[in-house]
Amino acid sequence: MNIVEDSPFLASIMRQSALCDELKYDLSCELYRMSTFSTFPMNAPVSERSLARAGFYYMGVQDKVKCFSCGLTLDNWQPGDNAMEKHKQLYPSCSFVQRMLSVNNLGLSSRSAFSPSIANSLSPSLHSMALSPSLEQVGYFSGSFSSFPQDPVTTRAAEDLPFLSPKLHNPSMRTEDARLRTFHSWPLTFLSPTDLAKAGLYYLGTADKVACFTCGGQLCNWEPKDNAVSEHRRHYPNCPFVENLIRDQQSFNVSNVSMQTHEARVKTFINWPTRIPVQPEQLADAGFYYVGRNDDVKCFCCDGGLRCWESGDDPWIEHAKWFPRCEYLLRVKGREFVSQIQARFPHLLEQLLSTSDPPVDENLDPPIIRFEPGESRSEDAIMMNTPVVKAALEMGFSRRLIKQTVQSKILATGENYKTVNDLVSDLLTAEDEKIEEEKEKQLEEVASDDLYLIQKNRMALFQRLTCVLPILGSLLSAKVITELEHDVIKQKTQIPLQARELIDTILVKGNEAASIFRNCLRDCDPVLYKDLFVEKTIKYVPTEDVSGLPMEEQLRRLQEERTCKVCMDKEVSIVFIPCGHLVVCKECAPSLRKCPICRGTIKGTVRTFLS
The answer to pTM > 0.75 is no
Confidence of residue 18 (pLDDT cuts 50, 70, 90): very low
79-95 pLDDT per residue, tens: 778 888 888 888 888 88
> Residue 29 pLDDT more than 50?
yes
Question: Alpha-carbon torsion 33, 318, 566, 535, what sign?
Answer: positive
Confidence of residue 138 (pLDDT cuts 50, 70, 90): very low
Confidence of residue 410 (pLDDT cuts 50, 70, 90): confident
- Determine whether domain 368-446 maps to CATH 1.10.8.10: yes
Q: Given this model, what pLDDT does residue 411 score?
A: 66
Q: What is the mean pLDDT of the chain?
A: 72
209-237 pLDDT per residue, tens: 999 999 999 999 998 878 788 788 888 88
> Residue 568 pLDDT more than 50?
yes
Report which listed range, 126-130, 195-199, 237-241, 594-598, is most confident.
195-199
> Residue 489 pLDDT more than 80?
yes
CATH 1.10.8.10 placement within the chain: 368-446
Fold (CATH) for 2-142: Inhibitor Of Apoptosis Protein (2mihbC-IAP-1); Chain A (1.10.1170)
Q: Given this model, what pLDDT does residue 553 score?
A: 60
Residue 577 pairs in a beta bridge with 604
pLDDT, average across residues 13-21: 37
507-545 pLDDT per residue, tens: 888 888 888 998 899 889 888 888 888 887 777 665 555
**248 vs 57, residue with greater confidence:** 57
Residues contacting 604, CB < 8 A, separation 6+: 141, 304, 305, 306, 307, 322, 576, 577, 578
419-453 pLDDT per residue, tens: 888 888 888 888 877 777 776 666 555 545 778 78
> Distances in Å between the alpha carbon of 386 and those of 354, 381, 392, 418?
19, 9, 10, 9
For every residue of 428-478, DSSP letters joined together read HHHHHHHHHHHHHHHHHHHHTHHHHHHHHTHHHHHHH---HHHHHHHHHHT
pLDDT, average across residues 255-267: 84
> Residue 283 pLDDT more than 60?
yes
CATH architecture of 158-250: Orthogonal Bundle (1.10)
> Residue 271 pLDDT more than 80?
yes
SS3 496: helix
**423 vs 8, residue with greater confidence:** 423
Phi and psi torsions of 481, nearest 5°:
-120, 160
CATH 1.10.1170.10 placement within the chain: 2-142, 158-250
167-197 pLDDT per residue, tens: 678 888 888 888 999 999 999 988 889 889 9
**137 vs 37, residue with greater confidence:** 37
> Residue 574 pLDDT more than 90?
no
